Structure 1
Amino acid sequence: MAEPQRIVIVGTGLAGASAASALRDRGYGGKITMFGTENRRPYELPALSKDILLGKTNEPAWVHEASFYADNEIDLELGVSVLEVRPGDHSIVDSNGAVRSYDRLLLATGSRPRVLPGAQGHVLRTLTDSLTLKSELREGRHVVIVGAGWIGCEVASAARTHGCRVTVVDPLAEPLVRVLGTEMGVMFRGLHEEHGVEFKLGTGVAGFSPSGVRLDDGTELIPDVTVLAVGATPRLELAEAAGLELADGGVAVDAALRTSVPDVFAAGDIAAHAHPRHTHRVRVEHWANAKDQGTHVAGSLIGLDEPYQKSPYFFTDQYDLGMEYRGLADPSDELVVRGDLASRQFIAFWLREGRLRAAMNVNVWDDGTALSALVDAQATVTPTQLREADLGSLA
């Protein structure tokens, strides 16, 4: 496969920016053009629900210094959307009406916050969203958060740190239960309740009014601030209109992140990836996936055929709890806990048919390398080994 002369990247998030820099690191000398709807250079998202909301900084973690793009001859088209992808003639149409040709195209369009019908409130996806919400988090104000997932829990932590009164609403029985299961959900609920958060669980939202949030149990909450944290929707419109195969909620890509259309690739939130270690497609909306897939797809864009094999990874910081999660488990998998759950200093493991599917270390920081090796290998281990053996020796 001849090296492409023109690579177009749609999306200036972490996946797109990581791909652009990795292309240059690999010695690619052709033209790189990136299109992004925001008027800011690429930045990472985790700080938006962590350090920025906590008031520790007003700056995100920029993917690169401002001079990096010009220094590496990467053309940043900021504030410019791609309206159409034309695979037949290898071109895109941008929001200025220009038609741009490509030899290879990377779609890294990311996600948008999911909203509820008639909803009124803050969402959290961009730097502007984060700075605007932070300005609302003032002592004594009542913050209602709809959604008890990762964003909802991190916003609750930040709001309580600012002295807000916080109510979290979710139709499920525990926070984070879809990802971590009931026992871990109870642990996170206890953490937040100890810090004064009130939960309305097993309760959905019936509607919104200018003054409040109506719940389906008849309760009406009257907040000063409403936050909508009900998940994200991958931006698939361009891919769908261009005729790319969609699957499992995303753009279907093979092991090397190629789509069903020649010379078009996808990475990050939108990529439903045929992961070599899983029997189903994997689509992950987390920082590490965007960074690592973006870096990997650079090789595919210049003609390499190497499968992307990294395990999903994400982290959170809430109050004095820090956590890292590696792998991909189902909450119904067998849960094994090593350490003290009550003091929130432990490692949780998820086993399926005797093989390790995922591991989560909570306020335990010495075993990250071993945990990554065990999860990547989907190691065959027993619960007793996970509770008692030296993890390094198991790895």
Structure 2
Amino acid sequence: MSEQTERQGMSPGRRVVVVGAGMAGVQTAVALREQGFSGPLTLIGAEPHQPYDRPPLSKAILLGKAEGSALDIDFETLGIELLLGREALGVRPDDHELDTEAGPVPYDVLVLATGAEPVRLPGAEGVPGVHLLRTLDDAERLRPVLARQHAIVVVGAGWIGAEFATAAREAGCSVTVVEAADRPLAEALPAEVTAPMTAWYADSGAALRTHARVERVEPGAVVLDDGARLPADAVVVGVGARPATGWLAGCGIELGAHGEIVADAHLRTSAPDVYAVGDCASFPSGRYGERLLVHHWDNALQGPRAVAATILGEADVVYDPVPYFWSEQFGRFVQYAGHHASADTLLWRGEPAAAAWTVCWLREDRLVALLAVGRPRDLAQGRRLIESGARVDPGVLADPARPLKEAVV
């Protein structure tokens, strides 16, 4: 038994099984080793590929600028057993067994890190030319579509829809984006913030149609509910994602309103010796006073360190991050940190028509979230202000010529 493992109260003979070979699952396994766990450790993934990073899928891989995004991790040296191409079917907590398509896998500790899956467009499944973009295989199927410079209809003007439209325009495709709401990113950001983003589509040569609901998809066309018929050599669906937890139905593990695994502040689930991390799990945030479900890469990177520490006996580890994500779209680098739902004040730093600007959300003179477009220094300093909880001077905050860190009072 290693000194660190013994100190943390985790017997090296206990077997840890991690379900999900995406970023959250891989980083959980790595964190366990880094924090001293020396026992048997198994990582199970449904895809047959070596574990890979997802952000390049909508960028370099999609455009043929890279052949893959396999994570540079030596699993063999770390003593991590990889079971790939093996879909999980259920959990039997009383028996401490995970059911997979290749048979049951016993565990002493189980970590659920199955991520999220794309929401499908009703009635479009099985129609030729309809695509999703979530996996490496999805990106590989879309690469030749972009290379042929087809006419493409993107359903959904959220983050993934905008990123794909950006790549498709860069490849020379004709792109029309249809959005049921009145603006892009309607579920993520308020109207006054998304207003300047609407022009980005036209500036890039992409057509954006809002208040547009898809009635049906036919081979070669998308038909809207107003009767409009949009020619489409290919259709890419980007209408959101939901936790990949359908396989847990009836297992006795508590799921939330959005199908997510309900975890506590230490990322423990309602079942003994079962933890959850990443896109598939929500957690209570003391910082924001509500339960958060975060579908972003940074959550899949930060959460594993916390869940590994909890597994290894660090009882005082609480997971309460400042959520962060970024998006590259239409030649702009967009970054967001925090959670603005409870904010009582919105401030602009810079003009929305400018190339670079930032929006700050405050609650009782404390910064709780910000969105930075082309201002990475604002993001870095603002994120630290959110983490510190310091009071700020709104006047200084709104002055784009002054560093955010000078706003502390």
Which runs of structure 2 are paired with 1:319-358 in the superposition (5 Å)?
319-330=330-341, 334-358=345-369
**Counterpart check, 1:262 vs 2:272:** yes
Question: Could you tell me whether the CA contact under 8 Å between 2:25 and 2:113 is conserved in 1?
Answer: yes
Q: Output the amino acid matched with 1:46.
A: P
Identity of aligned residues (%): 38
**Equivalent residue for 2:307, pick from 297, 302, 313:** 297
- Bigger drift between 328-337 and 202-211 goes to 328-337
Partner residue in 1 for 2:240: 231
Aligned 8 A contact 1:43 1:63 in 2: yes
Runs of 4+ in 1 over 4 A off after TM superposition: none
Measure how far apart 1:10 and its partner are.
0.6
Residue equivalent to 1:32 = 41
Aligned residue type for 2:89? L
**What is aligned with 1:377?**
388
CA shift for structure 1 position 378:
4.1
Q: Structure 1 residue 287 and structure 2 residue 293: aligned? A: no
How far the C-alpha of 1:241 sits from its partner, in A, is 2.5
Q: CA RMSD in A?
A: 1.8
Residue 387 of structure 1: aligned partner: 398
Contact 1:177/1:184 (<8 A) preserved: no
**Residues 6-57 of structure 1: CA deviation (Å, up to 9, x unaligned):** 0000100000000000011011101100110111121111111122223321
Which residue pairs with 1:71 in the alignment? 77
Task: Tell me how far apart the structure 1 counterparts of residues 41 and 286 of structure 2 sit (CA, whole Å).
Answer: 29
Check if 1:115 corresponds to 2:120. yes
Do the aligned partners of 1:105 and 1:265 also contact (CA within 8 Å) in 2? Answer: yes
CA displacement 1:278-309 (0-9 Å, x = unmatched): 22110111110111112221111222221012
Amino acid at match of 1:63: L
Aligned amino acid, residue 167 of structure 1: T
Distance 1:75 1:333 in 2: 49
How far 1:394 moved relative to its partner?
3.2
Q: Does 1:86 align with 2:97?
A: no
Q: Distance in 2 between matches of 1:42 and 1:276?
A: 33
Cα distance in 2 between the residues matched to 1:83 and 1:239: 7
Conserved? CA contact 1:359–1:375, under 8 Å: no
Match of 2:288 in 1: 278
User: Bigger CA drift: 283-292 or 113-122?
Assistant: 113-122
Q: Please, which moves more after superposition, 161-170 or 357-366?
A: 357-366
> Could you tell me which amino acid in structure 2 is paired with residue 260 of structure 1?
S
Q: Which amino acid aligns with 1:52?
A: I
- Who is 1:142 aligned against? 151
TM-score by length of 1: 0.94
Partner of residue 179, structure 1: 188
Structure 1 252/349 Cα, relative in aligned 2: closer, same or farther at 3 Å?
same
The match for 1:197 among 206, 230, 233 is 206
Q: Distance in 2 between matches of 1:140 and 1:59?
A: 22
Given that 1:142 and 1:166 are in contact with CA atoms closer than 8 Å, whether structure 2 keeps it comes out as yes
TM-score by length of 2: 0.91
Unaligned runs of 5+ in 2: 1-7
Rounded Cα–Cα distance in structure 1 between residues aligned with 2:296 and 2:197: 19
Amino acid at match of 2:403: D
**Gapped runs of 5+ residues in structure 1?**
none
| Distance in structure 2 (CA, Å) of the matches to 1:331 and 1:188 | 23
Distance 1:332 1:387, change over 3 A: closer
Q: After superposition, give the CA deviation of every residue in 1:188-223 in whole Å (9 maximum; x if it has no partner).
A: 211121111111101111112223111111101121
The correspondence of residues 302-313 of structure 1 with structure 2, limited to 5 A, is: 302-305=312-315, 306-313=317-324
1:134, 1:353 → 2: CA distance?
48
Give the CA deviation at 1:391: 1.5
Equivalent position of 2:5 in the other structure: none
